[in-house]
Structure 1
Amino acid sequence: MSLDPNDAVDAIALGWLRERPGTPVDSIGVVTRLWQAGKFFGDDRTRLLRGADADAATLDLLSTLRRAGSPYRMTTRELAGAALITAGAITQRVARAEKQGLVIRAPRGPGSRQVDVELTQAGHDVVERLVDLVLGRELQLLHHLDHEERDQLARLLRKLLDGLQTQEGDLKPGHVGH
Structure 2
Amino acid sequence: MATPRQPDAVDAILAQWHQERPDLDVSPMGPLGRIKRCASLLQRRLDETFAGFGLSFWEFDVLATLRRSGAPYCLAPTTLFSTLMVTSGTMTHRMGKLESQGWITRLPNPADARSSLVQLTAEGLALIDRAVEAHVANQHRILAPIKAADLAALDARLSMLLAALEPSGDSQP
Instruction: Return 5+ residue gaps in structure 1 as ranges.
Output: 173-178
Structure 2: 5+ residue stretches without partners: none
2-structure distance, mates of 1:23, 1:171: 34
Structure 2 distance, partners of 1:18, 1:111, is: 63
Q: What TM-score does the superposition give when structure 1 sets the normalisation length?
A: 0.85
Aligned to 2:123: 122
Q: Does 1:8 align with 2:9?
A: yes
Change in Cα spacing, 1:5 to 1:139, as seen in structure 2 (3 Å) is closer
Residue pair 1:97, 1:103 contacting (<8 A) in 2 also = yes
Stretch moving more, 16-25 or 109-118: 109-118
Count of equivalent residues: 170
Tell me which residue corresponds to 2:57.
56
Structure 1 segments of 4+ aligned residues over 4 angstroms from their partners: 169-172
* Range with bigger deviation, 112-121 or 60-69: 112-121
**In structure 1, how many angstroms separate the alpha carbons of the residues matched to 2:9 and 2:58?**
32
Q: Contact 1:5–1:11 (CA<8 Å) still a contact in 2? A: no
TM-score under structure 2 normalisation?
A: 0.87
Name the aligned partner's letter for residue 144 of structure 1: P
Q: Distance in 2 between matches of 1:112 and 1:128?
A: 31
* Greater length-normalized contact order (CA 8 Å, ≥ 6 residues apart): 2
Cα distance in 1 for residues equivalent to 2:147 and 2:6: 27
Alignment partner, residue 80 of structure 1: 81
Secondary structure of 1:163's match?
helix
What residue in structure 1 maps to residue 147 of structure 2?
A: 146
Q: 1:147 to 1:121 in 2, by over 3 A?
A: same
Q: RMSD across aligned C-alpha pairs, in angstroms?
A: 2.5
Deviation (angstroms), 1:69: 0.6
Q: Identity over the aligned pairs, expressed in percent?
A: 28
Shift of 1:73: 0.7
Residue 6 to residue 43, structure 1, CA distance change in 2 (3 Å): closer
Q: CA deviation at 1:44?
A: 1.6
